[in-house]
Amino acid sequence: MVGNSQRSRIQNQKAGLKLLTKLTLFITLSKLAIVMLFVFLLPNLIERIASKYTDDYLREQKKKVMTIISKNGINYYLQGEESMGSYTMLKEEYISLAPSETAFYPDTIETSERIVESDTLNYRLLTYNFKADNKRYLLEIGKTTATISQYNRPLQKIALWVLIALTLFTLVADLIYTRFLLAPLGKIIKSKLVNRRFPFNDDPHPVITSTSDFRYLDSSLMTLMTQIHEAFEKEREFTANASHELMTPISILQNKIENLLGETEVSDLIQRKLIEMHRTLNRLKKIVNSLLLISRIDNEQFSRSEVVSLKVLLEDVMDDISHRLEEKEIGFRLSLKENITLKNCNRDLLYQLFYNLINNAIKYNKPNGDITIQDSYHAGSFYQIFIEDTGIGIPAEDIPTIFNRFKKSNLSEAGGYGLGLSIVKSIANYHRINVDVSSAVSRGTTFTLVFPKEIIY
Amino acid sequence: MKVLIVEDEKTLAYEVEAFLKKAFYLVDLAHNARQALEKIEMNQYDFVLLDLGLPDKDGLIVLEHAKKHNSEAAFIILTARGNIEDRIKGLDLGADDYLPKPFSLLELQSRMQAISRRKFGVKNQALQLGEFEIDLQKRTVSHNSIEIEITRKEFDLLSYMLLHKNRVLTRIQLSEHIWGSFVDDDYDSNYIDVHIKNIRKKLGAYGNVEWLETVRGVGYKIRKQD
């Protein structure tokens, strides 16, 4: 169904996520993941940084001590004593200097326990063996590790909040920028695809963007549209020229047949044959006329400047067509609630549109069937007319193609849909009227015409 | 009445000529714009049937010139171009009617008659048809001065058959006159029968309608009155 396919297209749009949403979602999640990872690894990192800092600090202290010893002698520290030890008030740091007799000469930094005044404490410990005044000494400089790791918790907390705040801030920035970045895409789709009406007669303007990908997309679409337009233009020109060229020979044939029919000495048999020829020729004429009409509509050769009352128009059509109802004894009900007047339209074309639809409703109806024409008005948005028949209906598989030229239905004995519905479609497109079909085989068909508010007076 | 047919397609011109001669018109032919203008300058015509697609000049230019020399003539544009602008331009330039190709010769004659009534004041309005009197001007049918009510379409049909009386008119010819070359794929124009039935019923209530004959398998004709 025409309407259904449009609806499902819209649904597809709704079911999928927009590019912007996807990007935002991805950015948010990846940022959060990084923040969580960072916060989780923070203690470890701090540990490393702190221990590196402590080690550097210890080495620095050692250097100072060694400088003083080499300058002032070991006695500067020992003051005549055998060994020396000193620590800060809370025992975070301590230094000891003692003679050493061990065979190995360590110069290491490690973490180990020391008992200072009956307190067992964990120290980061620098041990250094050196020679002074021909004696070996062991220097130990320590710094508690507790001082290092005690800040982990609050740091982690602060980092978490700061980072989340930063993430949110950058997220907003990202969103704004992404929206700005993706704006041309929407513009391209709108200006090149959605809002352009076949056969793309209007000149497209390139969408201004500094993103080369979008420019590429835009120009590719424009090229494609131009190609479609040219192909269509060629077909249209061909149709117009071919129809025109066909009209002259048809004219000659028709006039010859007419002149022959006027001859008094023509026998009955020949007369009947002539009538058959005339009928066939007439069929050819109507096909060519229809093609010409479609090509002229597509060529925008009709003005759209008239104001038409739909009620009056429909009554005129019925006046012209009602004798066909009698023959098939078809019931007809025209019940319009609204008195809608259309503007910017072509009366003759609209007449043809309704004529063809109602004519079909009669032609494909069953004897004693019914035709109902109703309407509904959604004030401020659109107006609908429903042309409903109780006819033979259209098989579902035929519905997508009934508006195609020369499409034949397997079921219809009346010779297919011919060009009548193609003309309807062309006229509807020309007036931006949407045509929907719903049908059930052997129960009937409903054509729905949707008039946009732009053409409602 | 004198007619000039300006048509480059000779076969077509001859058919139109043959038909009009049979209807007692005097016919001249021109196959291009030059010939047409020459003849228009030399002669006075009542009708100029003008094809727009001429080989040497656009028919509309011919129309503009011809109007100056032969302003009394009625101009009927015959064209296969059939676009709206041509039609509007032609009528703006003073053409009296416009017939898109392919047209029916009967339709052409009917249009010419209508122009004759309108433009030249030809008064043959009150036509006798059996016991009935048909006034083409007032578009009425009456029987012993009693007006009979018939619809617009029924009157159109009746007067068309009357114009071409004693000639069989096919359903196609009749329906084309009534509904125009309306695009519609019902080439079996049986709907004409409904109208004929109505005419017979309405007029038959007053008098004899045997002059309206059905020609089996062909169409209808109005028999010549003796």
State the burial class of residue A86 (Cβ atoms within 10 Å of its Cβ: 0-12, 13-18, 19+). exposed
Whether A210 shows a pLDDT value over 90: the answer reads: no
Domains held by chain B: number: 2
The percentage of residues in chain A with a pLDDT greater than 70, rounded to a whole number, is 89
CB contact at 8 A, B48 and B75 = yes
A38 shares its domain with A148 = yes
Whether B7 shows a pLDDT value over 90: the answer reads: yes
Among B92, B119, B146, the domain boundary falls at B119
Which of B137, B145, B132, B135 lies closest to B202 in space, CA to CA?
B132
Among A195, A230, A257, the domain boundary falls at A195
Among B119, B142, B159, the domain boundary falls at B119
Partner-chain residue, chosen from A256, A278, A352, that has the shortest CB–CB distance to B15? A256
Cα-to-chain-centroid distance, residue A80 = 88
pLDDT, averaged across chain B: 85
B96 shares its domain with B138 = no
A188 shares its domain with A244 = no
CA B204/CA B143 separation, integer angstroms: 11
B105 shares its domain with B177 = no
Task: Take residue A18 and report the two structure tokens written for it.
Answer: 């927009």
Task: Take residue A339 and report the two structure tokens written for it.
Answer: 């008195």
- Taking contacts as CB-CB distances below 8 angstroms, the residues of chain B near A406 are none
State the burial class of residue A358 (Cβ atoms within 10 Å of its Cβ: 0-12, 13-18, 19+). buried
- Range of the structural domain that residue B64 is part of: 2-119
- Range of the structural domain that residue A104 is part of: 18-195
pLDDT in tens, B110-163: 999 889 888 776 666 678 888 888 888 888 899 988 999 998 888 989 989 988
Task: Tell me if B218 and A259 make a contact (CB, 8 A cut-off).
Answer: no
Pairing of strands A434-440, A444-452: antiparallel
Which of A383, A384, A328 lies closest to A361 in space, CA to CA?
A328
Task: Give B109-133 as a DSSP string.
Answer: HHHHHHHHHHHS-----EEEETTEE
- Taking contacts as CB-CB distances below 8 angstroms, the residues of chain B near A418 are 185
The model carries a pTM of 0.64
Assess if residue A106 is contained within a domain.
yes
Report yes or no: A304 at the B interface, CB cutoff 8 Å.
no
CB atoms near residue A253 (< 10 Å):
20
Cβ neighbours of residue B188 under 8 Å, at least 6 residues apart?
A279, B171
A44 shares its domain with A190 = yes
Partner-chain residue, chosen from B16, B84, B194, that has the shortest CB–CB distance to A255? B16
Judged by DSSP in three states, A234 sits in helix
B96 shares its domain with B170 = no
Among A275, A298, A321, the domain boundary falls at A298
B158 shares its domain with B175 = yes
pLDDT in tens, B199-222: 999 999 998 888 999 988 788 989
- Taking contacts as CB-CB distances below 8 angstroms, the residues of chain A near B8 are none
A310 shares its domain with A450 = yes
Distance from CA of A262 to the nearest CA of B (A): 6
B52 shares its domain with B130 = no
**If you compute the radius of gyration of chain B from its CA atoms, what whole number of angstroms results?**
19
A456 DSSP 8-state letter = B
CA A446/CA A2 separation, integer angstroms: 12
Task: Quote the pLDDT of residue B10.
Answer: 93
A136 shares its domain with A30 = yes
The CA distances from residue A293 to A137, A198, A236, A424, in Å, are 114, 17, 11, 11
A174 shares its domain with A218 = no
B47 shares its domain with B135 = no
Task: Take residue A118 and report the two structure tokens written for it.
Answer: 């009956």
A177 shares its domain with A265 = no
A267 shares its domain with A341 = no
CA A311/CA A266 separation, integer angstroms: 49
Domains held by chain A: number: 3
B96 shares its domain with B146 = no
Which of B163, B180, B167 lies closest to B221 in space, CA to CA?
B167
**Residue B41: which CATH number?**
3.40.50.2300
A386 shares its domain with A414 = yes
Distance from CA of B39 to the nearest CA of A (A): 24
A158 shares its domain with A258 = no
Task: Quote the pLDDT of residue A197.
Answer: 66
CA B123/CA B74 separation, integer angstroms: 17
**Residue A282: which CATH number?**
1.10.287.130
Assess if residue A353 is contained within a domain.
yes
Assess if residue A13 is contained within a domain.
no
Whether A10 shows a pLDDT value over 60: the answer reads: no
B111 shares its domain with B132 = no
Assess if residue A95 is contained within a domain.
yes
Among A151, A169, A195, the domain boundary falls at A195
Task: Give A62-123 as a DSSP string.
Answer: HHHHHHHHHHH-THHHHTTSS-EEEE-TTSSEEEEEEE---SS--EEEEEEEEEETTEEEEE
CB interface of B with A, residues 159-178, below 8 Å: 167-168, 170, 172-173, 176
**Residue A398: which CATH number?**
3.30.565.10
CB pairs under 8 A between A and B: 113
pLDDT in tens, A114-146: 777 777 878 888 888 888 777 888 888 888 876
Task: Quote the pLDDT of residue A148.
Answer: 59
A256 shares its domain with A310 = no
B16 shares its domain with B104 = yes
pLDDT, averaged across chain A: 83
Among B64, B96, B119, the domain boundary falls at B119
CA A187/CA B105 separation, integer angstroms: 57
* Segment of A235-249, A322-336, A435-449, B63-77 carrying the highest mean pLDDT: A435-449
What is the band of B187 on the pLDDT scale with cuts at 50, 70, 90? Answer: very low
A451 shares its domain with A340 = yes
Cβ neighbours of residue A358 under 8 Å, at least 6 residues apart?
A317, A318, A321, A371, A373, A387
